Amino acid sequence: MHRFGAVRRFWYSQNFRECVKLINSIKKNGMNHLLHKVELRACFSALIQFALFLLFLFQFQTIWAEGSKDFVNYPGHRLYLDTRDPQQMKVYAGPGEFINVGASHVGMNGGFIQVYRPDGTLHATFDDNSLGVAVIHNNVEEQNGPIGGGLGYIPGVVQVDTANAGIWTVIFDYPDYEEATFPNILNSAPWDLTNQPSTRTVVLSWDITVSQGAAGDQGGTLLEGRVYSNEYISLLRGNGVTTSPVFYVFTQDGYLYEVTFSETDPFRFPISSNSFGLVTGDLKPIYKSKNESEFRRDADPASWSPDSLYLYEPQAEDFGPLVNNKIFFNPPASDMPSTAMNTDIFRNNTHQTWLYNNLLQLEIDTFFFQGFDPDLIGCPGNVMEFSSGGWFIISANANGQATLELDLNENGLFGDPEDITIQQNLEAGIDSIFWDGNNGLGNPIPIDPSFTMTYRGSIRYGEIHISMTDIENNLGGVTFKLLNAPPNVPDSLFFYDHSDIGGAVSGGGTPGNALPTSTPYTYSGNFGNNRFLDQWIFTTFNIAETPVTIEVVQDCPCDALGATPNLVIPQPNLSACEGSSVVLMAMNNPDSATTNIDSLTYMWSGPGGFIFEETLAPGDTSRLALNNLTLATAGIYTVTSTSNLGCSDGPDTLNLTVFPGLNITSLIGGGDICPAASHEISA
């Protein structure tokens, strides 16, 4: 039996109706002191028992639901769900769980709810209000959620099997859109279906709630923190009415921000969040607010022009460092997986997306300089070819925005005309920041065996940009609160730069140099009309001042110290008799540097097309053994030594002389010889 059955039974019981009749009779006719006191005492006793029962019940059972009910306790007016532009709600559901949906517009002038599986296929459509299924009739049903039974609405239900666990998409819409006027109502105001506009314009109330064990109206346990959107578009009809909602913005790195609007007078109220705000065509954030006419919203960065400005499509799949944050209506549930399948319905793009990740604090475990070799052979570590530049290689565990400052005139100061500052997007894992090898005046760093520079910098991570598009007035502004801030990390500071549209810069900063503030930016007079206002917040990882010495060479890699072998032949002239054996030797000079040599390859050649090759460690000697020498093996032998970087020394030569062997044809002077006597024999 449903957990709320006892509530309903008492509400409609004979005892309760008699209590109500008694109270109304006393109001109308006055109290018969003896009889009425006894009856009234019994009535109040029953009511008190019922109140205690409710207290007990709701102490242990909270009514969860997700959707428009999350806004009803905020100050101001109700945000209607706008259907003019496509938007898609997302909900994670695991195996065996139930998705419960409902809305106030279902079956009204073609209003419908569509529920799509994680693979993008349509699972269910709810568009018939004749049975009351998936219809939220009033504020009481909205507040109580999909529990049915006269207290909540009767949900449209989708049971999730194992194969379809993931992120489902729910769309609340009409067959087409109609522009229409309708009255605004307060968040706290009671309502029924007469308040739902009959035109194909907005949705007054909507709900998506996940339950476990059973559907919501069958006693299932209702959950929160499963529903989000990448772009939530709502509407107040006209200006002069305010609202003060709260959203929870979650980042890929697990940073959870509470974003609070105060007395916002938006007319239309689109809210989205990404990692960069507005960007140039080469994905560089501008950290500025702009007029809507100055940028283009687009989902295809490959087609972008470097000289134009763009807002990456908020509902599209993430594109490298361009990450669309997730806007939750309650703090996200920690029982969700780190990734799940999802489909962008409007672009028919099925993909894996991030979901619930624990808070990630940035760490760097690698940072070094690697020169660029135009010949693509490669430079040794800390070696740079003149005027070719190179990369600072960084290995980090999170995405971020890197700022790297180089003190290139070696005076211990940053910001001189000769110094430079480089900004670069970094992705988690191994990434790099490129420096062209020039100073701030455009002059190449000269050839120098030991050029010392000092670097410092910072990496912004956990960054969110809250994008407010065409929000006319914001009387109380917007504030940010990092709910899971690590120790010693500010949790309420944010930035903005509205100078390009005639507004202020945060913290008393100057255009292009926003400073942190906790004071919200407020405006009126339709200042935000047709404008994109960007406000951002981030966490900073500082890169300490560190000196580094590099070798600047004319040609990389072979001009680098210890990159080219120094070939030595210990015995450049050898001689041997025909038929004997000999060993030719070559080696790297033991007194030369081999800092950047891992191996050496010796290539020998000699008379008659002779070739021999072997690869050895830098300190080993190449030994060429020639056996059973003939006169034909005599001559000049050459040898070349080549390092693993392709740097060579040689060819050097070695001369081999082979003497003919003896050929005895006759002996003269034989005979008997006495002991100890001398005798001559000729050959």
pLDDT digits (tens, 9 = 90+) for 387-408: 999 999 999 998 899 999 999 9
Of 60, 86, 105, the position where a domain reaches its end is 60
The candidate with the shortest Cα–Cα distance to 401, out of 322, 325, 490, 338, is 322
Q: How far apart are CA 383 and CA 557, in angstroms?
A: 8
Name residue 626's amino acid: L
User: 373 pLDDT band (50/70/90 cuts)?
Assistant: confident
Q: List, in sequence order, the alpha helices (H) in 222-291.
A: none
Say if residue 527's pLDDT is above 70: yes
Q: Same structural domain for residues 87 and 38?
A: no
Q: Are residues 72 and 195 in the same domain?
A: yes
Express each pLDDT in 62-82 by its tens digit.
557 899 999 999 999 999 999
Read off φ and ψ for residue 449, nearest 5 degrees: -70, -15
Contact between 309 and 286 under an 8 Å Cβ cutoff? The reply is yes
Interval 583-592 mean pLDDT: 91
Q: In terms of domains, do 84 and 49 share one? A: no
Gyration radius from the chain CA atoms:
41
**DSSP per-residue letters across 143-190:** HH-TT-BTTB-B-EEEE--GGG-EEEEEEEE-SS---------BTTS-
Find the distance separating the first CA and the last CA of the chain, reported in whole Å.
Answer: 128
The rounded distance, in Å, linking the Cα atoms of 134 and 104 is: 8
Q: Per-residue pLDDT for 44 more than 70?
A: no
Give the pLDDT band of residue 663 (cuts 50, 70, 90).
low
Average pLDDT of the residues in 138-155: 97
**Model confidence pLDDT, tens digit, residues 463-502:** 999 999 999 999 999 999 999 999 989 999 999 999 999 9
Residues 121 and 197 in one domain: yes
pLDDT for 356 beyond 50: yes
Q: How far is residue 635's CA from residue 630's CA, in Å, rounded to a whole number?
A: 11
Q: Provide the pLDDT confidence category of residue 661 given band limits of 50, 70 and 90.
A: confident
Q: Given a cut of 80, is residue 31 above it in pLDDT?
A: no
Q: Let me know if 244 is exposed, middle or buried by CB neighbors in 10 A (0-12, 13-18, 19+).
A: middle
Q: What is the mean pLDDT of residues 360-368?
A: 92
DSSP structure class, residue 38 = H
Is there a cis peptide before residue 651, judged by omega within 30 degrees of 0? yes
Q: Token digits for 330?
A: 């309650």
* Closest-CA residue to 623 (of 593, 586, 658): 586
Residues 6+ apart with CB under 8 A from 567: 586, 587, 588, 589, 639, 640, 641, 649, 650, 652
Which pLDDT score, from 0 to 100, does residue 142 have? 98
**Domain-located, residue 12:** yes
Average pLDDT over residues 123-142: 97
In three state form, how does the secondary structure of 299-312 look?
CCHHHCCCCCEEEE
Would you state the pLDDT for residue 674?
A: 77
92 located within any domain: yes
Same domain, 103 and 213: yes
Task: For residue 243, tell me if it sits in a domain.
Answer: no
Q: Which has the closest alpha carbon to 153: 139, 138, 140, 136? A: 136
Q: Indicate the angle between helix axes 33-60 and 14-29, nearest 10 degrees.
A: 130
What contacts 49, CB < 8 A, 6 or more positions away? none
Domain check: are 470 and 394 in the same one?
Answer: no
- d(CA 574, CA 582) in angstroms, rounded, equals 8
pLDDT value at position 32?
52
Is the pLDDT confidence value at 182 over 90?
yes
Angle at 169 between CA 399 and CA 99, to 5 degrees: 115
Quick count: other Cβ atoms within 10 Å of Cβ 342?
25
Spatial separation of the C-alpha atoms in residues 323 and 252, rounded to whole Å = 8
Residue 11 domain boundaries: 5-60
Average of pLDDT values for 587-598? 84
Q: 505: which residues sit within 8 A by CB, 6+ positions away? A: 496, 497, 498, 499, 511, 513, 514, 515
Residue 376 is predicted with a pLDDT of 78
CATH of the domain at 422: 2.60.40
The mean pLDDT of 14-25, rounded to a whole number, is 53
pLDDT at 545: 95
pLDDT at position 255: 95
In a domain, 250, yes or no: no
310 or 64, higher pLDDT? 310
- Least Cα distance to 201 among 240, 235, 228 occurs for 235
Does residue 73 share a domain with residue 56? no
Q: Where are the alpha helices (DSSP H) in 412-508?
A: none
Is 680 a member of any domain? Answer: no
Q: Tokens in use for 30?
A: 């006055």
- Indicate if 19 and 106 belong to the same structural domain: no
Average pLDDT over residues 234-253: 96
Q: Which residue has the higher pLDDT, 61 or 21?
A: 21
pLDDT given at position 55: 42
Q: How many domains does the chain have?
A: 5
Q: Which segment of 39-43, 422-426, 487-491, 607-611 scores lowest on mean pLDDT?
A: 39-43
CATH code of the domain containing 571: 2.60.40.10
Asked if residue 675 is part of any domain, the answer here is no
Which one has a higher pLDDT value, 662 or 474?
Answer: 474
* Percent of the chain scoring above 90 in pLDDT: 78
What pLDDT does residue 494 have?
A: 97
User: Does 339 have pLDDT greater than 60?
Assistant: yes
Strand partners, 157: 100
Higher-confidence position of 405 and 679: 405
Q: 499 to each of 273, 287, 312, 561, how far by Cα in Å?
A: 21, 11, 22, 51
97/221 same-domain check: yes
Peptide bond preceding 557 in cis form (omega within 30 of 0): yes
The C-alpha atoms of residue 492 and residue 516 are separated, in whole angstroms, by: 9
Cα 164 to Cα 341: distance, rounded to the nearest angstrom: 9
- Does one domain contain both 353 and 376? no
Residue 651 falls inside a structural domain:
yes
Domain match, 176 and 99 both: yes
- 523 near 474, Cβ under 8 Å? yes
- What pLDDT shows up at residue 389? 93
Q: What is the pLDDT of residue 664?
A: 64
- Integer Cα distance of 618 and 596 in angstroms: 10
For residue range 442-467, list pLDDT tens digits in order.
999 999 999 999 999 999 998 999 99
Torsion, Cα of 63, 68, 73, 77 (10° steps):
-160
Residues 360, 366, 371, 373: what is their CA dihedral angle, to the nearest 10 degrees?
-80
Residues 560-585: pLDDT tens digits? Answer: 778 889 999 999 999 999 999 999 99
The confidence score (pLDDT) of residue 60 equals 39
Cα separation, 520 vs 475, whole angstroms:
10
pLDDT at position 19, please?
Answer: 56
Mean pLDDT of the chain: 90
- Number of Cβ within a 10 Å radius of residue 370: 17
Residue 616, φ and ψ in degrees, nearest 5: -135, 170
In DSSP terms, 46 is beta-bridged to none
Which of 39-43, 155-159, 266-270 is predicted least confidently? 39-43
pLDDT at 11 over 80: no
User: To which residue do tokens 């008699």 refer?
Assistant: 18
The continuous run of DSSP H or E covering 44 comes out as helix 33-60
Q: Is 491 a domain residue? A: yes
Q: Other C-beta atoms within 10 Å of 299: how many?
A: 17
pLDDT at 16: 47
> Domain check: are 526 and 630 in the same one?
no
Q: In the predicted model, what is the mean pLDDT of residues 45-65?
A: 49
Instruction: Check residue 466 and give its pLDDT.
Output: 94
The residues, any chain, with a CB within 8 Å of residue 128's CB and separated by 6 or more, are: 106, 107
d(CA 171, CA 112): 8
pLDDT in the model for residue 637: 95
Q: Is pLDDT above 90 for 679?
A: no
Residues 165-174 pLDDT 10s: 999 999 999 9
**Does 369 score more than 90 pLDDT?**
yes
In this prediction, residue 647 carries a pLDDT of: 86
Note the pLDDT tens digit of each residue in 89-131.
Answer: 999 999 999 999 999 999 999 999 999 999 999 999 999 999 9
Q: How far apart are CA 425 and CA 542, in angstroms?
A: 15
